[in-house]
Structure 1
Amino acid sequence: MKTLKTLLSTIILVALPSIVGAQQPIYYDQWTAKIHTLPMPLICSDGTEVTTTAQWERLRRPELLRLFAEEEYGIFPTEKVKMKSRIVESSDDALGGIAKRRQIELTFSRKGIEHKALMLVYLPAAVEKAPMFMALNFNGNHTISAEDAEIISTNDAARGASESRWPLRKILSAGYGLATAHYYDFFPDDQLGCPQSIYRLFDGYEGWIRHGSQGGAIAAWSWGLSRMLDVLEKLPGADARRVAVMGHSRLGKTALWAGAQDERFAVVISNESGCGGAKLSRHLYMEVVGTINRTFPHWFCANFKKYNGDEYNMPFDQHELIALMAPRPVYVAVANDDHWCDPYGSYLSAVYARPVYELYGFSGPSSLSMPGPGESIHERIGFHNRPGKHDVKDVDWDNYIAFADKWMKENI
């Protein structure tokens, strides 16, 4: 089996990406897609080598964070926004008595304009101060369970329709709480959605076209996750010091970007996040930068489009996004038949993030051979390969709970 050390003989790691042709070939076999160069997470743009955690935190980490903000996800406005929260519904006898439920209205205001979001929180009834999982949902809070009391969001999906992705009883029985909100509350998932999003509080976002490094939907969704964490910091029964932020697909990209920016998140979990998430952009298999920018132009900032067909001129790659979580535990999950999300390219990001974790004395995947279906790694950089297609299953949650048990529940 090839290891990370062997990698040096097969892939050239460079401080800045090599300039190759403007249009790169796209492969339809993940095993034949070749990576010729990768930026090194421990080499600064000026060539300075990072050899200590102090250098990483002072030099390279801020540099990478700026690059991802300016060139990929966009910069969320820095103007101050007032936030008020109020519990609009609660029960200490939810889910047959095993949980406490809190539904919390968030009101954001600036310059006389208000924007609202609705947060749903379940806490295990038997735990005084519970560690938490936090994740945005796709179809509305009322879809994660069949509980009649859950307030219906603007999305008209049937109550409990997404219940299979949210095994509440499993999560609560393990001693964890869950906090969620509908992702549309922060940015409707449409290229014309900006005027109805949280951005309407800010100057310069009046239309749907954004320019340069202005933030997109992922920046708005990740900002929303941080505001939800603000709420948990004041919510009795929730331990805001032990929150694992998790997301699936486009919301997996969001969880990674939220975790990179907000170091209060104790654990970061990406479930099948694909291009613009855990997948290496230079692993040109299935969905690539040009494809995602044309299909979902509102997710990223406008600057990201200049790398359409030109991934090798990106001054960063997604393994460095994974590295931005260091030294916190981070988890990358794939599904073996989820080819569009590039399982192997996502696994390689976990492998190539490892040198930063090693600065802190932690480890992660090192073999270039991806674990087979049903196999998992629960090092500080975690990984599993689930049999099946693009989805969230009970076995995914089994791994996330076990990972959180190991790294968050008892170690913070």
Structure 2
Amino acid sequence: MRYLVFSLSFIISFNLFAQQTDVNYDENEIPDYKLPKLLITESGRKVKNVKRWEKKRRPELLEIFKHEIYGNIPEEIDISDVIVHEENGVFFDGLAKRKQVEIIFKKDDRELSADILIYTPKDSVKAPVFVGYNFSGNHTISYDPNIRLTESWVPDNPSWGIVHNQVTEQSRGVATDKWPVKKMIEAGYGVATVYCGDIDPDRDNFQDGIHPFSYQLGQFRPGYDEWGSISAWAWGLSKVMDYFTTDQDIDSTKVMVFGFSRMGKAAVWAAALDQRFAMCISNNSGCMGAALSRRRIGETIGIITYHFPHWFCENLNKYSGHEDKLPIDQHMLLGMIAPRPLYVTSATADLWSDPKGEFLSTLEAGKVYELYGKKGLPVTEMPAPNTPVSETVGYHIRTGKHDITPYDWEQFINFANKQFYSQPEE
């Protein structure tokens, strides 16, 4: 029966995708939609205060997102061992120190390890840290030959010397433009990164990442409402946070989780699941990230579940072409990050990620911040490109394509400064 249901959902998704060869980018073609109420409980009661939000509405929303979109994490899996491979080397003209830490997970005869690359200001004690995933290995953010090469599966990219799904020395430093580490260090912040494939390789496999650790006898893939890769990556970020609480160089009360594209989806889900993250930054996260699903513009549920079915739980398939049937939408996910600072970004040429839908979702999430006496976005209309706006919630749309740029990082740093270090007005 389970196979039959899955097969039917796959056929439905395939047929819907076949009908969407012309992706909609026209605002005039967006269907009429009505967002589910953020501050109305499932029983129909209004949420007027923080107590009801935290005790009733937030928990029920969290369960819906787990069951219908990202999938439940079946069991707790703790770090078994920590190996420090490098510590306190001096970098960036003496401004930074570096640490390379391997966290290891074990269960029965299985073992999985993930490398955390950490830079912190040299003279800082307990530095605030930005943490997020990279796409092809920690060594890609620097040309330094001493950064450990991942042994995990990596998507082939011959131009980077990644062949047969294994990295080589040729791929060192290919993503330095995405990671302006020196800029962050000069601003007083640390930065930490992990290769996403160390936790869960980005393919429809479910055999070589963390998922098999939770399988029951005879199980070969997650159940209908069990974790896909987005949840696995979010789980991995929480495990990194577990390590941060033990590291004397890191201020674990000021850890800012960020992500670009699909790692932006993982970042917002991680921040919703784990309230230890002090801030969340979503960069061009799009469908099932920050953007409203009901708008059905750019990438839709039907398209994303067809191309990347492993990212989500199987239950999401039933909403392909039926976004209006979703009991939730992404403004509710962003609302669950309150009262912690939230920053969302878009790009003018990234229509696939629906910039307007990302803005509208962020705007709606501000209603939860108001319960806490905090301010959401300070505007009600989408700002002009390259004009950041922020209170406790921030947003910008920059000119350019689907990417993460030095301009984006400059705004992240400015926003962090405002949240952590600006003095309140008299």
TM-score by length of 1: 0.90
Equivalent-residue separation in structure 2 for 1:279 and 1:42 (angstroms): 19
In 2, the alpha carbon distance for the partners of 1:27 and 1:161 equals 33
Name the CA shift for 1:165/1:36 in 2 (closer, same or farther; >3 Å).
same
1:241 and 2:253 matched: yes
Residues 267, 329 of structure 1: 8 Å contact kept: yes
What is the rounded CA distance, in whole Å, between the counterparts of 1:37 and 1:321 in structure 2? 17
Aligned residues of 2:79 and 2:103 also touching (Cα < 8 A): no
Q: Which residue of 2 aligns with 1:268?
A: 280
Choose which of 41, 45, 52 in structure 2 pairs with 1:44: 41
Alignment partner of 2:136: what SS? coil
Change (3 A) 1:408 1:311: same
**Could you tell me which residue of structure 2 aligns to residue 98 of structure 1?**
95
Question: Residue 35 of structure 2 aligns to a residue in which SS?
Answer: strand
Partner of 2:393: 381
Tell me what 1:77 maps to. Answer: 74
CA contact (8 A) 1:199 1:205 kept: no
* 2:204 aligned partner: 191
Distance 1:206 1:270 in 2: 37
| Structure 2: unaligned runs, 5 residues or longer | 1-15, 155-166
Partner of 1:124: 121
Hey, what's the Cα distance between the residues in 2 that align with 1:205 and 1:31? 51
Counterpart selection for 2:134 from 132, 137, 153: 137
**Structure 2 counterpart SS, 1:38:** coil
| Equivalent residue number for residue 306 of structure 2 | 294
Q: In 2, distance between residues paired with 1:206 and 1:215? A: 17
What is the aligned partner in structure 1 of residue 12 from structure 2? none
Matched, 1:325 2:374: no
The CA deviation at 1:373 is 1.0
Higher helix proportion: 2
SS of residue in 2 equivalent to 1:39: coil
Q: How far apart, CA to CA, are the structure 2 residues paired with 1:35 and 1:360? A: 31
Supply the AA of the counterpart residue of 1:39: P
What runs of 5+ residues in structure 1 fail to find an aligned partner? 1-22
Cα distance between partner residues in 2 of 1:148 and 1:72: 40
SS in 1 for 2:148: coil
Q: Aligned residue for 2:178?
A: 165
Q: Per-residue deviation at 1:354?
A: 1.3
SS at match of 1:195: coil
The structure 1 residue matched to 2:191, chosen from 174, 178, 181, is 178
Q: Could you say what the CA RMSD is over the residues aligned between the two structures, in angstroms?
A: 2.0
**Residue 298 of structure 1 aligns to a residue in which SS?**
helix
Letter in 2 for 1:161: V
C-alpha distance after superposition, 1:249-299 (max 9, x if no partner) = 000000000000000000000000000100000011011001100000000
TM-superposed deviation, 1:377: 1.0
1:149 is paired with a residue whose SS is coil
Does residue 1:256 correspond to 2:235, yes or no? no
Moved more, 38-47 or 364-373: 364-373
**TM-score of the superposed pair, with normalisation by structure 2:** 0.88
Q: In the aligned structure 2, how far is the partner of 1:111 from the partner of 1:323?
A: 39
Percent identity of the aligned residues? 40
SS in 2 for 1:97: coil
Aligned AA (2:120): L
